Amino acid sequence: MHTQFFGNFLLNKGVITPEQLIDALKVQAYAHKKFGTLAIHSGYMSASEVEDVYITQTHFDKHFGELATELGYLSADQVDELLDTQLPDYMLLGQILVEQKIITRIEFENLIAEYQSAYEIYDLDLIDEQKDMVEKLLANFYLPEDAPYSQNILSYLTLFFNNLVRFIGEDFTPLNIIVLPEVPTNFCVSQDVEGSFSFLSALDMEPETAVAFASRYMNEELTEMDEYVRASMEDFLNLHNGLFSVNMSNDFSMELHLHPPVINEHTTLATESPSYLLPIIYSFGTINFIFSVKMSASLEDIPAAGESDTQGADGPESGSDRSEAAPEETPDRSEAAPEETPDRSEAALEEMPD
C-alpha cells in the first residue's frame, strides 16, 4: 500500500501535480498485475480458485496470499515466490514518472531515500508488522491531531484502504484530510453505525465516477447511472462497515450495529460532530470519503481499540462468542456468514475482480 502514500508524499513536496499523478496512475493500473493474476499465470491456481479467494475476502479481512494458503490453494513457498516477482508499487510509480520525464533518475533515487527514511519503510515479512507500518503511515499522513478515538479511526482507515485495493484497485492516492462542519454532496451513499463506537461514513463522487467505481466493484462494464450502480455503491460501503464491525467484535469485544445505507444526491451532509473529508484520487476520478464520529456518549463510555467492551450495543446477545461469528480458522463457505457481515449481491459474486 506504500504507493498510495508515496503519491501524497510527492504532491505535498510539490514534485508533481495532481494531473501528472492521475496520468501516472493510469499507466500503473495497466502495468501492475494483481496477486491472483500472477498465481494463474504461474500455473499455481485456477481461475475458479482465485475467484473463491476473492469471495472469501468479502467475509475475512485477510491478504490474498494468506487466504490462499489457508484454503490449500498455495503453499507458503509459492506465496513468497509470487511476492518476489512483484516490484514494490511505489517503486513502479516512480519509474513511470521517470519514463514520462517528470522527474530524473537522480531525483527519483533521492526522493525514494527520503521517503523510506522518513517513514522507516523496509522489507516486512510478518503481517502484524505490515499492519503496524501501514497504521504508522496513516497516522503521519491522514489523522488529525485532535481526532477523537484515534486508534479506532486508524483501524477503520487501514481496513478501508485495504478494501479499496482488494475490490476497486490499487491505482489511487489519498490527499490530505479536510475538517468540515458539513459536506455538500454530488452522488453520496452514507451509513450510520451505532454501538460503543458510533460514527457515520459516506462515499461521495460525481455520477460518472460512481459508474466507473461500480464497474470495477462488479467487474462488469457499466455505462450509465442506474439502480445497478446505486446498489453496487451501497453494497461496497455496507460490506466494508460489516467487515469492520466483525473485526472490532472479534478483536476488542466491541459490538456495533449497521443501519441500512442511504443515498443522498446534491444535498448537504450535516453531522453533529465535525466531518473528516478525505479526497482519494483514482485514475478514473476522485472519490470523497467522509467520516464523522458521533459524540452522543461521553468519552469515558466509548472504549478505544484494544480495550474490552463486554456489553454490546444490542445487549448480551450481540456479545455472543465471537468464535462462532468469525473463527480464527477460515470456515467452510457452506456455513452461513456472520450476521453482521453483509454479503455482496449475487450479481457481484458471479464476477469478482482480479
90 with 28: CB under 8 angstroms? Answer: no
pLDDT confidence of residue 131: 52
* C-alpha–C-alpha distance, residues 236 and 218, integer Å: 10
- Binned at pLDDT 50, 70 and 90, residue 171 comes out as confident
More reliable by pLDDT, 40 or 164: 164
Mean pLDDT value across residues 59-82: 88
Angle between helices 89-99 and 105-119 (to 10 degrees): 160
pLDDT confidence of residue 153: 86
**Average pLDDT value for the chain:** 76
More reliable by pLDDT, 323 or 91: 91
pLDDT confidence of residue 32: 58
* Most trustworthy range by pLDDT among 23-27, 65-69, 170-174: 65-69
| Grid cell 469485544 in the structure block, residue | 253
**Identity of the residue numbered 217:** Y
The fold for domain 150-354 equals Chemotaxis protein chec (3.40.1550)
pLDDT confidence of residue 140: 59
pLDDT confidence of residue 203: 97
DSSP for 97-117, please give it: HHHTTSS-HHHHHHHHHHHHH
Question: Who contacts 192 (Cβ-Cβ below 8 Å, separation ≥6)?
Answer: 198, 199, 200, 258, 259
* C-alpha–C-alpha distance, residues 193 and 176, integer Å: 24
Terminal-residue alpha carbon distance, the chain: 17
Q: What is the pLDDT of residues 109-154, one digit of tens each?
A: 888 888 777 665 544 333 444 455 455 556 655 666 666 677 888 8
* pTM reported for the whole predicted model: 0.62
pLDDT confidence of residue 84: 74
